[in-house]
Structure 1
C-alpha cells in the first residue's frame, strides 16, 4: 500500500508514517462493526484470535518486521507470570524488563523529531504489561487492597492467548488508551451486553459522536497548523517579534499541539465505544456511561482554568495508571511531593530520552506546586478573598486564569513538541526564560511572603489562673 499511502501523504501535506497511523485508527470503525455483527456471540477463543490477528496486521502495516519486539516483550512477561506469579519479584522484574526493552528501543531509534517507530506502541505496551503483573500481585492479597485495586485485581494468571489479545486489541494497541485486563476480560465475556436482550450494547451512537468530535479536532489541528507551525517558531521571524506577540503565538501553538493528541485519542475512543469496551456503568439518571476508556474529558478540558484540572482531564488513563501503580504505591515515602516528583520523572522517562520531555514535566511539577501555594495564600488574605468572591469578578477571573494557564502550558509544551535542547533553547532564550524564572523562584517568594509579609492569624488560648481567666495572645508554648 505504499503507493496510496504516499499519495495521501503528499495530498494532505504530512508524512507517510502519520497517514499509516491515521488509517490504522480509522480502521477501528469497520473492524468494530464487524466484531459486533459476526463475533459478538462466538466462543471467546475466536474473539481473542480476531483481536490478535487484526492487531498483528496493523502492526506489520505500520512497522513491518519490527512487530517482533512487541511479541517478544509479551512472551517475556508471560514467562515472569508463570514463574513468579503474584510476588514482589514479579512486579520488580516486569518494571525492569518492560522499561529496559523500551529504553533500548529509544536508544536505537531516537532521532531529532517525533518518531513513528515500533517504540510508539511499545510505550503503551510497557504500561499495559506492567499493569497486568501488578493486578495479578493484587489478586493474591485481596484483604489489603483499596477499592480501586479491587476493581482490577486478577485472581489467576491470564493465558498467553488472553495476554496477546489484550495487547494487540486494535482499540488500544497503537496509541492507547490504557485499560485493565479485568475490564477487557469482562468485555470478552459479555459483561457489557445489553441487559435486556443480551445483544451488543447500544453504543454505536456514542461511538460515532466521539468519531465526529475527533475528526473536528484533527481538522482544527490541520487548519490552524497552517498559521502556527514549528518552522515559524524556529525561524528568525519569531525571534524578531515582541515579547507579548511571542507569548500569544506559543499560547495558540501549544493549544493546537494538544488538538492533535486529543483528536487521535477521540478517534480511538469512538471505535472502542462501538465495540462496547468503554462501558462505565450508569449516571444518576440511569443512562449508560461510555467514558470508561476516555483518554481526554473534552468538556472539562476545554473549560478547565486551573493546572490541576487541565492535567487531570488530559491523557486521563495514562495519568490514572501513573497514580494507581506508581504514585499511590510510593506512600511509604511519607511525602506527597517526593512521590509526585518520582512519578513525573518516570512519566518523562516513559515518553523518551529527549531532554524536552524532562523540561516539560519539571515545569508541570513547578506549575502545580505554585498554583497550590497561591490558593493557600489567597485564603489567608481577606481582602483578596472578598474581591474574588464578587459575582461580577468571577467571569473576569475565569478568563484571566484561562489565559494564564494556556500560556503556561504552551510555554512548557515548547520543549515537549520540539524535543531537542538546541531547538527549544532558542525559543526560551528569546522569551528571556521568563516563566522558568517565575516557576523556579516562586518557592523562595512564597517562603518570604508567608514568613515576613502576610500576617498570620492571631491565636488565642484561654488559660485558667487561680480564679482569673487570662487570655494569652500568640504564646508559643500553647500554640
Structure 2
C-alpha cells in the first residue's frame, strides 16, 4: 500500500520515488513532534530515547530497507571505540578514519551519475555526528586549554549506547541534518528546554510552523522555476548557442533555484525540530526566546547577503559550523590560515562524495573568497571609492550590483556541484569560455601587479631617535 501511494505521488508530481519518500519522511516530523509533546515529553529518559530510536529506524527502513543496518553498525563501532579508549587523541583519530572510510566505501559501492537516495545520504550526516561525539568526549576529558566554544559541547562522560542511538537516529536530523551536538540532545531529553514557568513543553509551535510555511514556499518556488531553468536545458545545444550575457543570466537564476531546493528541505526539518523543542537557543537582549539553535540556513541574512563570505556563513550553517569547530580550528598547528581553509574545503568536498563536481565547486569557492578579500582591499585603497560608498544615495545601487555579482559567481561555481560529472559541467563551462575561471585564477597575478606598481603606497614616517624605546614597545606589541 505504501509503495503504491509513493508511486502515485511520484507520477503525479513528476518526481522520482526516492525523492517522494524523503519528502514524506521530512513531513512526518510534524505529527511526530506533536505526538512527542502530547505523550512522550514527560516520560522517562529511557522512553524518550526509545521513541527516537524506534521512529528513526522506521523512517530508515521506509527509505532504505535493510540497508539501514549500516547506520546501526557504525554507531556500535564508535560506541565500542569510546569504551576502549575514551577521551584520547587515538580515539579521535580512529573515529575520523573509521567514519570517513565507512562513508567512502558506501560512495564507492553505490555512487551513480546523479544524486543518490541511498543509505549514504543519512550516513554522511551520521559521519559528522559520531565524529563530533568523540571530539566532545576528548574535550570533556581535557577540560583545560579548550575554547569556550568547545566547553559548550564537551562531554564529561561517555554516552550510553541508547543515548548514542537516540542522538544519531533522532528524526529531526537523521535524514538530511542539521547537525546538533550530543550535549544539546541530552539537555533536551533532560527537560532543560521546558517552559520555565509551567514545566510543560516549550512555546515553540508558532515558531516551528513559521519555518514550515517558509519551507513550503521555497519548495514551491523551486518546483515552479525548475520548469523554466532546468538541468536538461543547461546541458542542451540551445544553451551552448546562447550569447554569453544570456548564459550568465540563465546560470544566475538556475544556481539560485538550486539552492532553493536545499533551503526548502532544511526549513521543513527545522520546523519539526522547533515544534519538538530541540532548537531552543536562549533569549535575545529583549528577553524573547530564540529558536534558531538547529537552523541550517539563516534565511533573512542569506537573501540579503552580498558577499561570498556572508553567503557561505548563512548557508548550510550547522555543517559549516561543524567544519570550522572540528576541522579548521583544529588545524591551527599548520600555522597557515589559507592552508587550513584549503584542507577543510577538501574534506568538505570528500564528505559530499566522490564526484569531481564537488571538488571543483569548493576549489572555486576557495578562489572566490580570496578574490573577494583581495579586491575589497584594493578598492578601499582609493579615496574616491570610499567617498562613493559613504554616500547614502549610492548604497542601494552598490548593494544591488554586488548582490548580482556574488549570486552569479556562486551560481557559476554551483554548475559543477549540481551537474556532478566532469563531462557535463565541463560542457557548460566550455560554452561560457571559462570566463570566471580566468577571473579567479588570474587574480593573484593582477593583485600582485596592482600592489607593486599601481596602488598608492603608504609613506613611511621617520621616527625620532629619542622615541626608540616607545617604538620598540609598539613593535613588540604588534608582534
Note the 1:290-369 alignment, pairs <5 A: 290-369=291-370
- Structure 2 unaligned runs (5+)? 467-479
2:463 alignment partner, SS class: strand
Distance (Å, rounded) in 1 between the aligned partners of 2:204 and 2:96: 35
Matched, 1:436 2:437: yes
- Confirm whether residue 236 of structure 1 aligns to residue 241 of structure 2: no
* Aligned residue in 1 for 2:221: 220
1:88-103 pair list within 5 angstroms: 88-103=89-104
Residue 397 of structure 2 corresponds to 396
Q: 1:266: which partner in 2?
A: 267
For residues 201-249 of structure 1, give each alpha carbon's deviation from its aligned partner in whole angstroms, at most 9, with x where no partner exists: 0000000000000000000000110100000011011111110000000
3-state DSSP class of the match of 1:244? helix
Corresponding residue SS for 1:143: coil
Q: Does 1:449 align with 2:450?
A: yes
CA distance in 1 between partners of 2:465 and 2:174 (Å): 70
What is the Cα deviation at residue 380 of structure 1?
1.6
**Deviation digits for residues 172-197 of structure 1 (CA, Å, limit 9, x no counterpart):** 00000000000000000000000000
Counting matched residue pairs gives 465
The match for 1:425 is: 426
Tell me by how many angstroms 1:55 deviates.
0.2
Provide the rounded CA distance (Å) in 2 between the counterparts of 1:225 and 1:231: 10
Output the CA distance in 1 between the equivalents of 2:441 and 2:108.
Answer: 30
Deviation at residue 311 of structure 1 after TM alignment = 0.4
Other structure's SS at 1:281 match: coil
User: Which whole-Å CA distance do the structure 2 matches of 1:255 and 1:398 have between them?
Assistant: 17
Counterpart of 1:129 in structure 2 is 130
Structure 2 SS opposite 1:359: helix
CA distance in structure 1 between the aligned counterparts of 2:70 and 2:171, rounded to whole angstroms: 17
* C-alpha distance in structure 2 between counterparts of 1:226 and 1:299, whole Å: 26
Query: In structure 1, the residue corresponding to 2:297 is in which secondary structure?
Result: coil
Cα deviation, 1:387-430, whole Å, max 9, x if unaligned, reads 22221211111000000010001100000000000001110000
In structure 2, the partner of 1:470 is none
1:458 equivalenced with 2:453 (yes/no):
no
Give the whole-Å Cα distance in 1 for the aligned partners of 2:61 and 2:187: 28
Q: Distance in 1 between matches of 2:163 and 2:123?
A: 18
Residues 140-170 of structure 1: per-residue CA shift (max 9 Å, x gap): 0111111100000000000000000000000
Alignment match, 1:45: 46
C-alpha RMSD of matched pairs (Å): 0.8
Once the two structures are superposed, the pairs formed by residues 375-394 of structure 1 within 5 Å of their partners are 375-394=376-395
The offset of 1:464, in angstroms, is 4.6
**Which residue number corresponds to residue 113 of structure 1?**
114
Which residue of 1 is the match for residue 198 of structure 2? 197
Report deviation, 1:51: 0.2
- Superposition deviation, residue 462 in structure 1: 3.1
Report runs of 4+ in structure 1 exceeding 4 Å deviation.
none
Post-superposition offset of 1:379: 2.4
Deviations 1:73-128 (A, max 9, x none): 00000010000000000000000000000000000000000100000000000000
How far the C-alpha of 1:385 sits from its partner, in A, is 1.4
Cα shift at 1:443: 0.8
SS of the aligned residue for 1:196 comes to: coil
Matched residue of 2:464: which SS? strand
CA separation in 2, counterparts of 1:343 and 1:147? 21
1:463 is displaced (CA, Å) by: 3.1
Structure 1 length-normalised TM: 0.96
What are the within-5 Å matches in structure 2 for residues 23-42 of structure 1? 23-42=24-43
In the alignment, which residue of structure 1 is the partner of 2:474? none
1:6 matched to 2:7? The reply is yes
Distance in 2, matches of 1:126 and 1:278, equals: 21
CA distance in 2, matches of 1:244, 1:25: 39
Structure 1 match to 2:477: none
Deviation at 1:384, TM superposition (A): 1.5
- What SS does the aligned partner of 1:462 have? coil
Q: 1:286: how far off?
A: 0.1
* CA-CA distance at 1:460 after TM superposition: 1.0
Q: Partner residue of 2:156?
A: 155
Shift in Å at residue 364 of structure 1?
0.4
* Residues in 2 aligned to 1:440 and 1:195: alpha-carbon distance in whole angstroms: 55
